[in-house]
Amino acid sequence: MQISPDLMNTIMVALEVILALTGGFLAALWISLVIWTFRDIRSRTRDIFAQLLATLLVLVLNIPGLLLYLILRPPERLTEAYERALEEEALLQDIEERAVCPACKRQVEKDFILCPACHTPLKKRCPECGRVLQLRWTICPYCGAPQDGAGSGAEQAAPAEEYLHPQAPFDEEEMETAAWPASGSSSSFTSSED
Ligand SMILES: [Zn+2]
Ligand SMILES: [Zn+2]
């Protein structure tokens, strides 16, 4: 069976179009791979030399180059490494912040008064307000009560009184000013109504 030259021509043109499309697609794929590699390596290292090398590898060797890159690239992204460092730091801080018994070095909670293992006193309780205080504190920072073993009580109490006094009127004043606008406006409101 004879193929007419017209049909032959059509087939050739179709083949050319298919080849051109395939070539275009492959070129686009190639460029995309290079761009992807460049972006990927940039998110994994700040080393400019490594960035150039990885991009060149894929630019020259294409898909085999990409395979090599995928095998050799740094396993962790910079953001992942940063997050991991943050997590480790938080964990370390958590461990550091946990209190330890000075006698037996066992972990204790911050508000323990005694070590449950060796019964060493860790904190003391204020006899006035009952809050937990450091052993070395000579005065309760919550209620101002002088603590046992604070030396001469009078000397310690005097500055405490001075310290407390300016705060007490200030608190009252604050409460008054906070309460006044409401009562004042209501009274003026009622007076204007009358
Ligand atoms: Zn202990
Ligand atoms: Zn107290």
pLDDT tens, position by position, 150-161: 443 333 344 444
Residue 65 has pLDDT above 80, yes or no: yes
**Based on the domain organization, do 15 and 67 belong to the same domain?**
yes
**Based on the domain organization, do 111 and 175 belong to the same domain?**
yes
What DSSP letter does each residue of the chain carry, written as one string?
Answer: -PPPHHHHHHHHHHHHHHHHHHHHHHHHHHHHHHHHHHHHHHTT---HHHHHHHHHHHHHHHHHHHHHHHHHS-SS-HHHHHHHHHHHHHHHHHHHHSEE-TTT--EE-TT-SB-TTT--B-EEE-TTT--EEETT-SB-TTT-PBPTT-SSHHHHHHHHHHHHTTHHHHHHHHHHHHHHHHHHHHHHHHHHH-
**Based on the domain organization, do 67 and 119 belong to the same domain?**
no
pTM (predicted TM-score): 0.47
Quote the domain boundaries for residue 175.
Answer: 107-179
Q: Each residue of 130-150: pLDDT tens digit?
A: 898 888 899 999 999 988 754
Q: Confidence class of residue 110 from pLDDT cuts 50, 70 and 90?
A: confident
**Based on the domain organization, do 63 and 21 belong to the same domain?**
yes
Residue 166 has pLDDT above 80, yes or no: no
CA 147 – ligand 2 centroid, Å? 9
CA 151 – ligand 2 centroid, Å? 17
Mean pLDDT of the chain: 79
Domain presence at residue 29: yes
Domain presence at residue 153: yes
Ligand nearest to the CA of 112: 1
